[in-house]
Structure 1
Amino acid sequence: MSVEGDHYKALSKLVEISPGRYREDHGLSFADFEIGDVYEHRPGRTITETDNMWMSLVCMNDHPLHINSEYAGGTEFGAVLVSSLVTFSIVGGMSLASTSNKGIANLGWDKVRLLAPVFVGETIYAESEVIAKRRSESRPGQGIVTVKTKGVKASGEIFLSCERSFLIEI
């Protein structure tokens, strides 16, 4: 995707709502998605101990590997692991602005894979590839887009992957 192309401009644009006044308009419309396009979601996010502790407990994941440094230090990992519920949520959030920001509904996540541990202090990024799009058979005027999203550490290691489908206006 070229930075100069109209396709790129659709990701983030300003819409004039009155003379000299503009509103940001984020996200893609159905027509903007092209199978094979890859979106690198930025900014990245450095995971903190607070992120992991609070989100683990909000999700009611009280496994000591995620919230107890003494316990975690005695495991093969040697340190607290960031809960996959935390990393999955952050990667999902990172991907929204340039995928389903104009979506009507998430339809589901498939093929969720946890490929490597994430530790407090690591910086993570996300990227999504458009793998399918079609008109909805049951909802005229709407379409279904499917993306494969990966969570990627600053080192380049992929720690998470999943496929997500969402409904969007045509």
Structure 2
Amino acid sequence: MAKTNPGRFFEDYSIGQVLHHAVPRTVTVGERALYHALYPARHALYSSDDFARSCGLPQSPIDDLAAFHVVFGKTVPDISLNAVANLGYAEGRWLKPVYPGDTLRSESEVIGLKQNSNGKTGVVWVRTRGLNQRDEVVIEYVRWVMVRKSNLDAPAPETVVPELKKALAPGDLVVPQGLNFSDYDFVQSGENHRWDDYKTGEMIDHVDGVTVEEAEHMLATRLWQNTAKVHFDLTFRPDGRLIYGGHVISMARALSFNGLANAQMIVGLNGGAHANPCFAGDTVKAWSEVLDKADTGVPGVGALRLRLVATKGGEPFALKTDEGRYRPEVLLDLDYWALMPK
């Protein structure tokens, strides 16, 4: 009897099914060092314990996206090992900071199923939660993936498409306990721009670019124990090893420092699309659009809703064609909430 795990196929999922993902992971300061080596990440709150303490936190947390990647990576063997594509995200919330020494584990519930008309694939919606060693939920999000069928004769399940929020309301956002930007040090953070300086509809070209290297993206994906075959095995996708979408997200977020250095903490993920595949040799650039602003009610802390777009060429601020399709150079379209000093 085979002892290896071939991964789940579309017909293996059912509504309400709960998946407890292996393996728990204790994160350390090494996680931060590797994350900052892989990306030009330099937001002050995640770089300096002293800066974090001046903002009311006990120490510098692990970067919000690094924590997300750890939680996400746990889910891959059970959800996306046989996926054709990761299609989107919604209702993502960072509920508690993750600190060095915390142990993270993940669990997911199947909340939607829809077989595609070709009968060979289907879409699976899951709500994933990342929990720490105290069983506190630190991150939660919904994502949906297109997954292959193994048995093409397996009957199609009843179609269930979950109703998801188009965007989180400001009241859905959780500001970490103790966070206070009243004495924020703009010299140490790297820019003077504060929440009040940004206007809804404003567009920001982040100027810089980074060429994706083969070794770096595979190192990053291994770091988060993401076992998806398309990221490693050239025989699985002969046109190249597909860059993990989270690698593109982190690269774009790091590039956004130039213009959004004070957008310190990501606390909400409204939606996201990996518009086109990314391969080694592509040069990633980024631009942002301010979609909304909100007051959190916490001293000195405002929230910006931002669209972050990563591209591999083309002009900034060009997103879709006249037909409404993403332009071929667009890699990522991400809609998120970030906390910023007022």
TM band (smaller chain) = 0.7 to 0.9
Map of 1:103 onto structure 2: 83
1:14 aligns with 2:2: yes
Amino acid aligned to 1:62: R
SS in 2 for 1:156: coil
- Give runs of aligned pairs for residues 1-170 of structure 1, distance below 5 A: 14=2, 24-137=4-117, 139-170=118-149
Map of 2:269 onto structure 1: none
SS in 1 for 2:51: helix
Amino acid aligned to 1:14: A
> Once the 2 structures are TM-superposed, how far is the Cα of residue 129 of structure 1 from its aligned partner?
0.4
> Once the 2 structures are TM-superposed, how far is the Cα of residue 57 of structure 1 from its aligned partner?
4.8
> Once the 2 structures are TM-superposed, how far is the Cα of residue 56 of structure 1 from its aligned partner?
4.0
The answer on whether the counterparts of 1:56 and 1:83 sit within 8 Å (CA) in structure 2 is: no
Amino acid aligned to 2:2: L
> Once the 2 structures are TM-superposed, how far is the Cα of residue 69 of structure 1 from its aligned partner?
2.0
Q: Whole-Å Cα distance in 2 between the matches of residues 48 and 28 of structure 1?
A: 31
> Once the 2 structures are TM-superposed, how far is the Cα of residue 54 of structure 1 from its aligned partner?
2.2
Amino acid aligned to 1:165: W
What 5-or-longer segments of structure 1 have no aligned partner?
1-12, 16-23
> Once the 2 structures are TM-superposed, how far is the Cα of residue 161 of structure 1 from its aligned partner?
0.6
How has the CA–CA distance of structure 1 residues 56 and 110 changed in structure 2, closer, same or farther, with 3 Å as cutoff? farther
SS in 2 for 1:14: coil
The answer on whether the counterparts of 1:53 and 1:66 sit within 8 Å (CA) in structure 2 is: no
Q: Whole-Å Cα distance in 1 between the matches of residues 73 and 60 of structure 2?
A: 23
Deviation string, structure 1 residues 82-101 (Cα, Å, up to 9, x no partner)? 11110111111100111111
> Once the 2 structures are TM-superposed, how far is the Cα of residue 105 of structure 1 from its aligned partner?
1.1
The answer on whether the counterparts of 1:66 and 1:82 sit within 8 Å (CA) in structure 2 is: yes
Q: Whole-Å Cα distance in 1 between the matches of residues 7 and 49 of structure 2?
A: 40
After the TM superposition, which segments of 4 or more aligned residues of structure 1 sit over 4 Å from their partners? none
Q: Which moved more, 1:150-159 or 1:73-82?
A: 73-82
What 5-or-longer segments of structure 2 have no aligned partner?
150-342
TM-score, normalising length from structure 2? Answer: 0.42
Amino acid aligned to 2:147: I
> Once the 2 structures are TM-superposed, how far is the Cα of residue 59 of structure 1 from its aligned partner?
3.6
> Once the 2 structures are TM-superposed, how far is the Cα of residue 65 of structure 1 from its aligned partner?
1.2
Q: RCO higher in 1 or 2 (8 Å CA, sep ≥ 6)?
A: 1
Count of aligned pairs between the two proteins: 149
Higher strand share: 1
> Once the 2 structures are TM-superposed, how far is the Cα of residue 140 of structure 1 from its aligned partner?
4.0
Percent of paired sites with the same residue: 27
How has the CA–CA distance of structure 1 residues 59 and 110 changed in structure 2, closer, same or farther, with 3 Å as cutoff? farther
Q: Whole-Å Cα distance in 2 between the matches of residues 102 and 114 of structure 1?
A: 27
